[in-house]
Amino acid sequence: MIHAAKGGPLGWAWDRYIGWKFRSAFRGLWVRGALPPGGPGRLVYLNHSNWWDGFVLNQLCQTAGWDGYCLMDEENLRRYRFLTRIGAFSIRRKDATSPVAPLRYAKELLRKPRAVVFVFPEGEHRPFGVLPLRLERGVELLARVSKVECLPIAVRYGFFEHERPDVLLEVGTPHPPGDMSVFQEGLETVVRRLAAVTSMEGFTRRVSGARGVAERWDAARGLAS
């Protein structure tokens, strides 16, 4: 398996690059619900609808004060090896004997101060809001082995009367490890709530991104008046 390789000058550089890349592409990162403090010992599971998800998690960790790590398919991680610098580590999904080492590694990570391990139990990109979700059992196994608190978060990319898209996060209710029905209900609940959103009401902007032409124009008019 491929281990995470956070820290050092390269880790610092990648954090800065990803922050710049996120802020140049999106209007902001918005959160509804309470983000708990860092671990040790929290498993966060999310829907997986976009290539940007890993960059979003990096920005979420920065604003929440989490030391984040993310389970990722080994084939993809070999293609994008730089992601180890922001906490990605691998699992071979098609190998029945593969989960043992990643589960042990994740369990060790979860003992670190402020540690959070992210899992996308859908296993691949799927359109946002299509229910029921098809989840793989890895999230259940990891939670049982690690005996940690679990937290569902839904991620949505959307346009709300602005030139640039916003990234919205819906934070669910923490719960102890359980069977797959617990994870199914937890993630579908936050996805359903987020799919119904039609405005930014109730959300707090945690990361500010780039302004569009209309917003810059309004700012200029305000100064002129």
pTM here is 0.92
Residue 94 or residue 202, greater confidence? 202
* Vertex 63 angle, CA 62 and 64, to 5°: 95
Split at pLDDT 50, 70, 90, the class of 223 is: low
In which element (H, E) is residue 154 found? strand 149-158
Residue 54 or residue 223, greater confidence? 54
- pLDDT tens digits, residue range 53-66? 999 999 999 999 99
Q: Which single residue is written with the structure tokens 């190998």?
A: 95
Q: What pLDDT does residue 91 have?
A: 86
- pLDDT tens digits, residue range 84-126? 999 999 988 766 566 788 899 999 999 998 999 999 999 899 9
What structural domains does the chain harbor?
A: 8-224 (3.40.1130)
